[in-house]
Amino acid sequence: MNPTITTSTASSVRPAPPLPEDLSEVLKRVRMPYLRAVAPEVLATAKAQRWDPTELLRVLLAEEVRGRDEATKAARRKAAGLPAGKTFDSWRESDSSIPVPTQSALVALEWVHRGENLAITGPSGTGKTHFVEALAHRVIDAGMRVSWFTLESLTTAIGRAAVDGSTSKVLARITRAELVVVDDIGMLPTGQAAAEAFYRLVDATYERRSLAVTSNIHPSGFDSFMPTTLATAAVDRLLHHAHVIVTEGASLRHAEATTGRGVVPLT
């Protein structure tokens, strides 16, 4: 039996009595804030519905676990640096050129558990970033961590670390995440520093963590905007255990703009 946290008629009229001060202090000391928050209501419900003590304990502890899990996910979303809050709630799988079975297989996240990579390439506006960010949210929901970068922000992070000799520490911190993302590679001119930063990340994640990249240029063409030696070494490692997805079609953003769906209508 798993009773729900509902109140009796009497308790819905009168606020649940607060916890005794000494009990509240104990819960503070043992750091159970979520249990402490719901305890008055749960105890009132348990008394009114004559719950078994075991069920009462189970419900209270479940609330603490739920609260901690939600707090952990919120902290990981903030730490990940995800760009726009795009999730599968706003994703229209039928509008994407990625085959639906492929979408479903990627959403299952087995490739992340296996430490495999993902490269999504195609024209601008075909849903590459939206899909990968939605995957990143799903990874966090599954209890894992994400590190999100553009090539520019990755270059900055590695460049700062190189100044004080902490590159290895920074890479170790980045690769604590089960999924590392580098978004929109090739959109801006790339110099030697960016190429080196990208290679270092690919090398650090190789056969250890999943790396997802999005680009308007296929990885085989990365030598068109970064030094050939670094591009060849990075792409060789990137694609060794990678799922390569090619998106096609017109820009979804352009389609929304021309049909008036890109803004809220003026009144």
Q: Which token pair is 199?
A: 């290679």
Q: Tell me what pLDDT residue 33 has.
A: 94
Distance from C-alpha of 181 to C-alpha of 150, rounded to nearest angstrom: 8
The amino acid at residue 67 is G
pLDDT tens for each residue of 124-140: 989 999 999 999 999 99
Q: Tell me what pLDDT residue 11 has.
A: 43
- Give per-residue burial for 64-99: e unless 16+ CB within 10 Å, then b: beebeeeeeeeebbeebebeeebbbeebeeeebebe
Q: Tell me what pLDDT residue 9 has.
A: 39
Distance from C-alpha of 158 to C-alpha of 148, rounded to nearest angstrom: 14
Q: Tell me what pLDDT residue 266 has.
A: 72
What pairs with residue 10 in β-bridges?
Answer: none
User: Coil, strand, or helix at residue 160?
Assistant: helix
Q: What is the pTM of this model?
A: 0.80
Contact, 185 vs 155, CB < 8 A? no
Residues 6+ apart with CB under 8 A from 143: 69
User: Coil, strand, or helix at residue 15?
Assistant: coil
- pLDDT bracket for residue 60 (50, 70, 90): very high
Residues 6+ apart with CB under 8 A from 105: 111
- pLDDT bracket for residue 1 (50, 70, 90): very low
Distance from C-alpha of 30 to C-alpha of 32, rounded to nearest angstrom: 6
pLDDT tens for each residue of 64-119: 999 999 999 999 999 999 987 899 999 998 889 999 999 999 999 999 999 999 99
From residue 244, give the alpha-carbon distance in Å to each of 111, 119, 149, 157: 12, 5, 19, 27
